[in-house]
Amino acid sequence: MDLPTHFAFGLLIGLVFFAGKPEGVMLIGLGALLPDLDREYWYVREQKYADEQYHRARFHNVFIIGAAYLVSPYLSIGVFLHMLQDSFTTAKDRGVEWFYPVTRLVKRGLYDPNMKLTKPAPKEKVYFYQEDPLGYVNAADPDLREGDQPVPWRRVYGFAQNSHLLDRGFVFGSAVLIVLWLVFPSNFTYIQLSMTYFRGAFPLWIVGFGAIALLYAAGETQRRDKQPKLPELKPIQFPMLIAGVALFALWFVLFRVTILQNLQVIFADPWIIIAGVIAVPAVAFVVIKWYTRGKNTAIV
């Protein structure tokens, strides 16, 4: 989905569920813009996207949500909302690979694209249900097509093809609800609180959102999958990239007090975190071993 759609939806959720916390609302909006920085931009490591499908994977997974949580819970909510919206889209629009890179451990489907049972591989115990239906996927954008053979990388397929109707429905629906929420009489106090907050924190958010804008603008001057949208800016793409990274670093410095406070809360009892890091993989390992014991196979 488009960036205005992600931002409007994130802002709406922030306003509705976190009234009285203008900083949280802004962080949700900022987080909703972050995951698409893994697009096929010139400053991202080059690869064959149709083969490896890294977009909607590297920055669209639960581990990125966890990393954002270290900065702020609100930032992680924004990342989650972005992924949630992208999950509505089907294989034709890539879906979202929520558990990348763990999902890449499964290489094959139990059924081929024509729903014929494949011959089991001796070393494979866990399968996807079906390989990609090529006729469906090859109707997608050029960078998503798979040719004559399905690729092993799988997405979590959603239920709706992403089109302008879906995007515009989200963005205009969110915008209308934001306006209705703001003009409701009981929210006047919140608006006054927000104005007071932003008068003091305005430079902070100019830096944060300015960094995002520069990084996207630099990327859009040259995309590997499509014609660039901002070709007139190509001569200054490197300065924009450097300025975007520098502003992002500055934003972290300006926001360091909140980040450090959040980290202190998270790591107040590190043994809980250590236990979780050990327990979750251990449980997953036991479950997989149980369901694939003997000659059994399992499907995800």
Q: 132-152: per-residue pLDDT in tens?
A: 777 777 777 666 777 777 776
Alpha-carbon separation of residue 95 from 55, 155, 220, 268, 273 (angstroms) = 10, 6, 22, 36, 30
pLDDT tops 90 at residue 67:
yes
- Domain spans of the chain? 3-106+152-268
Question: Residue 115's pLDDT is what?
Answer: 86
pLDDT tops 60 at residue 76:
yes
For residues 161, 165, 169, 172, the Cα torsion angle rounded to the nearest 10 degrees is 140
Q: Work out the pLDDT band at 51, boundaries 50, 70, 90.
A: low
Average pLDDT across the chain, whole number: 85
Q: Positive or negative, the Cα torsion across 273, 275, 278, 282?
A: negative
Whole-angstrom distance, CA of residue 282 vs CA of residue 103: 17
pTM: 0.89
